[in-house]
């Protein structure tokens, strides 16, 4: 199967630049993956689409303010460092700019020296290893000095950084938001709870690889990025209990889906788990744990649209995307959503 099989035309004006004032007022397209039938709702209608006995699986990862703007030392030339993965011992794998001037041995400074760092190595993919020096707690320093690492297709400045966090975010570590969860409000979650829909949490720290289009002509030649994820005992128990009583396991976002599918047994049974996953889901994959999916609209030729196509069928998904374009849906991180069942 070719990467070009997952292309669709998207007018640039449909790429959402800012979040809606009300999180759950976004549009919600429903897609029946067996028939391809679609309908148009609002996200606050979600309680009408789920059933008592279903469970929602949410990714509680929290986005780090991981974009650091500073100066090179000595000389003071501007630089940018984007934190990707905590490698331990105060060392992070990072994207840096300008790359040609930030080779091993280079020094950087942020916040008038409140945070400094040294480039200590380079990965095979060209990322840099940066060892930081600071006083106090690193996450608190980041809160003061860092900016939200918004995707490259968002050109507007974010006024409230909490709008790039889910309302249930808890575990810091992502370089990008698990965006399907941005539509939920505390009131909507409470409504779902009252009608008998249980919620469980996994953690997958989203990497920037999620935004990268597949460059290889054949999708099977693509090398998937790795991300760290956790299924806690109470969530594993909830998934297994839901399956046993005939309810649906509804993943909120491709990150929750990838977490469950990484560790689920062939019969859908899930054990508490933690580790790195590079699971790559494309058409032909047999889903083991997930029964329904809440997801945003994804970039053409991305691994995410391939995952959705594996679940709902490529023809169904591309037809739904063409309909979304015709209906002027808002796309990508701050855009509208789909419920696929």
Work out the mean pLDDT of the chain and round it to a whole number: 96
Residue 211's pLDDT is 65
What length does the chain have? 341
pLDDT digits (tens, 9 = 90+) for 234-252: 999 999 999 999 999 999 9
Which residues does 270 contact at the CB level (< 8 Å), separation at least 6? 231, 235, 236, 239, 240, 260, 263, 264, 289
38-52, 162-176, 210-224, 295-309: lowest mean pLDDT where? Answer: 210-224
Burial 15-26 (b: 16+ CB within 10 A, else e): bbbebbeebbeb
Share of the chain above pLDDT 70, in %: 99
What is the mean predicted confidence (pLDDT) over 223-239?
Answer: 95
| pLDDT tens-digit readout, 129-178 | 999 999 999 999 999 999 999 988 999 989 999 999 999 999 999 999 99
Over pLDDT 90: what percentage of the chain?
93
- Tell me how far apart the alpha carbons of residues 115 and 167 are, in angstroms, rounded to a whole number: 29
* pLDDT tens, residue by residue, 312-329: 999 999 999 999 999 999
Are residues 202 and 231 in contact, defined by beta-carbon separation less than 8 angstroms? yes
pLDDT digits (tens, 9 = 90+) for 269-278: 999 999 999 9
pLDDT tens sequence across 54-96: 999 999 999 999 999 999 999 879 999 999 989 999 999 999 9
């Amino acid at each position: 199967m070719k990467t070009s099989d997952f292309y669709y035309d998207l007018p640039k004006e449909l790429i959402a630049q800012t979040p809606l004032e009300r999180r759950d007022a976004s549009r919600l397209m429903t897609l029946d993956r067996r028939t391809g039938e679609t309908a148009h709702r609002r996200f606050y209608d979600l309680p009408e689409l789920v059933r008592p006995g279903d469970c929602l699986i949410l990714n509680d990862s929290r986005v780090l303010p991981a974009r650091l703007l500073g100066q090179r030392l000595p000389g003071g030339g501007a630089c940018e460092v984007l934190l990707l993965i905590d490698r331990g011992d105060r060392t992070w794998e990072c994207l840096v700019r300008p790359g040609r001037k930030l080779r091993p041995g280079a020094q950087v400074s942020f916040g008038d020296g409140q945070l400094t760092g040294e480039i200590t190595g380079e990965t095979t993919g060209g990322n840099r290893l940066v060892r930081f020096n600071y006083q106090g707690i690193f996450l608190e320093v980041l809160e003061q000095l860092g900016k939200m690492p918004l995707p490259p297709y968002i050109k507007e400045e974010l006024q409230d950084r909490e709008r790039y966090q889910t309302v249930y975010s808890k575990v810091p570590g992502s370089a990008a938001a698990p965006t399907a969860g941005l539509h939920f409000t505390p009131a909507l979650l409470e409504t779902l709870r009252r009608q008998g829909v249980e919620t469980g949490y996994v953690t997958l720290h989203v990497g920037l690889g999620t935004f990268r289009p597949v460059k290889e002509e054949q999708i099977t030649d693509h090398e998937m990025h790795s991300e760290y994820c956790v299924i806690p005992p109470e969530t594993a128990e909830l998934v297994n209990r839901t399956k046993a009583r005939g309810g649906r396991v509804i993943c909120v976002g491709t990150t929750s889906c990838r977490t469950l599918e990484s560790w689920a047994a062939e019969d859908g049974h899930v054990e508490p788990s933690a580790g790195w996953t590079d699971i790559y889901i494309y058409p032909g994959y047999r889903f083991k744990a997930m029964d329904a999916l809440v997801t945003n609209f994804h970039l053409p030729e991305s691994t995410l649209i391939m995952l959705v196509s594996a679940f709902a069928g490529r023809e169904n998904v591309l037809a739904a995307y063409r309909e979304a374009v015709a209906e002027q849906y808002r796309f990508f991180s701050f855009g509208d959503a789909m419920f696929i069942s």
